[in-house]
Amino acid sequence: MLRTKVYRADGMKVLDEAKGRVSAIVSSEKVDRDGDVIRAAGWDLRNFNAHPVLLASHDYHSLRSQIGVWESMEVDGTKMRGVARFFIGKGNDEADWAFELAKEKALAFSVGFIPDMEKALPLHKDDAFGSNGMEFQGQELLEVSAVTVPSNPDALQRIAKSPNLHPALAEIVEERLILSEEEDGSIPWLETHPIDEIVERVLERLAERTGAAVEQEEDEPSADDDVSDEDDYGDGDEPESRSAEAQDLSEPAAAFDPYAVAVAAAEEALEEEQA
């Protein structure tokens, strides 16, 4: 019975970018997201080493699904690690994209294996059938696939909505969606996040834009500040004469007395009449 297990590639390191060589831990004895444990000592690598292909997403049917080879695969304590060489620059877009993800440490690997069920035990003593997790103590490795995600944000969003998406891949998809949002300013992941997170992100975006607008308003004078009509006050004076007669703002302004203004106007009218 073929089984697969997906792992984020812990300890991934690009060994030779020009040749597409990468080292990575592809399995460990941590309890995986399915609740199972694969004991490293139980790996049987004999058949795998005879044909150590690096596939894309366990596709055994297409010739283009072979995106590289594993130059080595070995058990190291409680982990299994390997060195892969991707077939980059040879016209296989999937191989090129997988290597790009590897360089960004955003690639996952999935081991395809056949467990020896006679050696498998329930992980929990009170779970006789192992429905809550199994401990595999013997398993034959068939192949190790690179599990890739697309680069298009729309495709990523469709993948994120899949109810059967493996948690390890969901993490990668979400990281790619957030990255695409930061690059182009759109928010393609709205439907995949809790409403509280959406509101918080929207508030942050509004605060950023409001702050930028206020800063621009303070730094850049408007067109109205640079250009004025020759007589925008309607008093017949040129702007220069008004500026020369402008009151010194450093001195306190005199209090306005409407009674005194009325008296002065009456006196002026009386003088004109007598003249």
Q: What is residue 196's predicted lDDT score, i.e. its pLDDT?
A: 63
* Residues 114 and 32 placed together within one structural domain of the fold: yes
Q: Is residue 225 part of a domain?
A: no
Q: Is residue 246 part of a domain?
A: no
* Residues 18 and 142 placed together within one structural domain of the fold: yes
Cβ–Cβ under 8 Å, residues 114 and 139: yes
* Residues 137 and 162 placed together within one structural domain of the fold: no
Partners of residue 109 on adjacent β-strands: 7, 146
Q: Is residue 232 part of a domain?
A: no
Of 48, 27, 44, whose CA–CA distance to 36 is shortest? 27
* Residues 13 and 76 placed together within one structural domain of the fold: yes
Looking at 189, 218, 247, the residue that finishes a domain is 218
Expressed as residue numbers, the domain containing 32 is: 3-148
Looking at 124, 148, 172, the residue that finishes a domain is 148
Half-sphere exposure of 238 (CA within 13 A, CB side): 3
Residue by residue, what is the 3-state secondary structure of the chain?
A: CCEEEEEECEEEEEEECCCCEEEEEEEECCCCCCCCEECHHHEECHHHHHCCEEEECCCCCCHHHEEEEEEEEEEECCEEEEEEEECCCCCCHHHHHHHHHHHCCCCEEEEEEEECCCCCEECCCCCCCCCCCEEECCEEEEEEEEECCCCCHHHHHHHHCCCCCCHHHHHHHHHHHHHHHHHHCCCCCHHHCCHHHHHHHHHHHHHHHHHHHHHHHHHCCCHHHHCCCCCCCCCCCCHHHHHHCCCCCCCCCCCCCHHHHHHHHHHHHHHHHHC
* Residues 79 and 164 placed together within one structural domain of the fold: no
Domain count, the chain: 2
Q: How far does Cα 81 stand from its chain's mean position?
A: 27
* Residues 33 and 58 placed together within one structural domain of the fold: yes
* Residues 14 and 99 placed together within one structural domain of the fold: yes
Q: pLDDT tens across 191-217, in order?
A: 555 556 656 666 776 776 666 555 655
Sequence-ordered list of residues with C-beta below 8 angstroms from that of 149, at least 6 positions apart, any chain: 101, 106, 156, 159, 169, 172, 173, 176
Partners of residue 56 on adjacent β-strands: 146
Partners of residue 95 on adjacent β-strands: none
* Residues 138 and 20 placed together within one structural domain of the fold: yes
Looking at 107, 125, 148, the residue that finishes a domain is 148
Q: What is residue 11's predicted lDDT score, i.e. its pLDDT?
A: 76
Q: Is residue 241 part of a domain?
A: no
Q: What is residue 72's predicted lDDT score, i.e. its pLDDT?
A: 97
Q: Is residue 242 part of a domain?
A: no
Residues of the chain with pLDDT under 70: 9-10, 33, 149-173, 175-202, 205, 208-263, 265-266, 269-275
Would you tell me the crossing angle of helices 153-160 and 167-184 to the nearest 10 degrees?
A: 140
Of 104, 79, 92, 82, whose CA–CA distance to 22 is shortest? 82
Q: Rounded to two decimals, what is the model's pTM?
A: 0.58
Q: pLDDT tens across 216-265, in order?
A: 556 655 555 554 445 554 555 555 554 444 455 455 555 556 666 666 76
* Residues 129 and 191 placed together within one structural domain of the fold: no
* Residues 144 and 155 placed together within one structural domain of the fold: no
